[in-house]
Amino acid sequence: MSSFTPSTPAVPPHALPSYLQAEHLGPWGTYLQQVERVTPYLGNLSRWVETLKRPKRILIVDVPIELDNGTIAHFEGYRVQHNLSRGPGKGGVRFHQDVTLSEVMALSAWMSIKNAAVNVPYGGAKGGIRVDPQTLSRGELERLTRRYTSEIGLLIGPSKDIPAPDVNTNGQIMAWMMDTYSMNTGATATGVVTGKPVELGGSLGRVEATGRGVFTVGVEAARRTGLVLEGARVAVQGFGNVGGTAAKLFAEAGAKVVAVQDHTGTICHSSGLDVPALLAHVKAHGGVGGFAGAETMAPADFWGVACDILIPAALEGQITQDNAARIQAKLVIEGANGPTTPEADDILHDKGVLVLPDVIANAGGVTVSYFEWVQDFSSFFWSEDEINARLVRIMKEAFDGVWQVAQEHRVSLRTATFIVACTRILRAREMRGLYP
């Protein structure tokens, strides 16, 4: 009998999964850099940090539908669950022609951080379909939504993973998702998604929640830095639920919205835009382009506009090393997910610009989604005043904690938010242990 020779010790785990390429990391690469920056502050919990660098579960699905012209079209769909240590997955579903696996992975990871930062009992998840919904009829859009919901049905559920609206999805999409899941399981399950119409168990205040959270942390940061909101100049990129609501609230607080950019155009007015009129224009025409009460400007010039507060509330990767140096704002409040690259972050830091990161600034949406989920379970619904008051309290408490950590460690608010969130996630991971 030959003697047993022990094998050489296993090499450390690879930080990069085999399905990604190091030279094409996309948004996931941005997230990984953020994790690297926070690791030195995690102490003994850093032994678990690899947990944060790889999603728990990734599902890629084919979504075939019959188009109105009788042909069959196939679309690529995703659902990624990044981390479930603190509770069921929570995160939106976006319909966009440029959706990629890397993007959905990053968005799911930022949801993990965001949920932990405001201390709601969720893990991070995200979903998407690679499609331009503007090319689909209402019937095609419904069939796409229902087929996608059926395909990811083995992952989602009121106590497993709860989708919500994101880019190009809304309450109607959530209603179709809820109905499809309910039909497939044989019982009405209002808690399987949030962001639903109020008539189907949705929450009052949900539509404005993300923008209200942006405004709330903006007010707190302005107070701490001595920035007076009365007369402050605000520039907003993206004028949907997030950017539009934030602009309305800042204008009501006495600030002037001097520039707005979206996919239809870039407009400005040095003495302040009429925000209610602009919101009505966007509702009627689908974007800010063509608004009569403003001048137009070149899209690239938006980043150099004279302003005190800049709110990127569109897509990720908008503030880069190419345009960050042009930004004149004292305060950047990230309404979008991942709008600032790490290189741009460093440039803004060196310029003395205070950046309120997405993982705390736009957490108002998931906070009220949590309220909706709780209300669905109890079948007892709160007033809008109660919801807004609870939202403001949670956002202020979360921001206070992040601000304190930033001062203590002399780090950016983004790194401070990651310190708070990653500590909570990894403590939960450590206490739960590894099964088996």
Is residue 3 over pLDDT 70? no
Is residue 394 over pLDDT 80? yes
Q: Which of 11-25, 288-302, 345-359 has the lowest mean pLDDT?
A: 11-25
The encoded tokens of residue 285 equal 């025409």
Q: Respond yes or no: is residue 330 known to be catalytic.
A: no
Interior angle at CA 349, CA 102 and CA 51, nearest 5: 35
- pLDDT above 90 as % of the chain: 89
Is residue 337 over pLDDT 80? yes
Is residue 133 over pLDDT 60? yes
Per-residue pLDDT at 14: 63
Distance CA 192, CA 156 (A): 7
Is residue 8 over pLDDT 70? no
The encoded tokens of residue 218 equal 């903006």
Tell me the one-letter amino acid at 312.
P
Which one from 53, 114, 126, 196 is the annotated catalytic residue? Answer: 126
Per-residue pLDDT at 9: 47
Tell me the one-letter amino acid at 189.
A
Per-residue pLDDT at 22: 85
Q: What is the mean pLDDT of residues 374-380?
A: 95
Distance CA 231, CA 49 (A): 44
DSSP symbols for 317-370 = S-B-TTTGGG---SEEE--SSS-B-HHHHHHHHHTT-EEE-HHHHTTHHHHHHH
Per-residue pLDDT at 146: 98
pTM above 0.85, yes or no: yes
**Which 3 state secondary structure label does DSSP give 248?**
helix
pLDDT digits (tens, 9 = 90+) for 14-38: 668 888 888 889 899 989 999 999 9
pLDDT digits (tens, 9 = 90+) for 171-203: 999 999 999 999 999 999 999 999 999 999 999
CA distances from 280 to 51, 215, 294 (A): 46, 20, 14
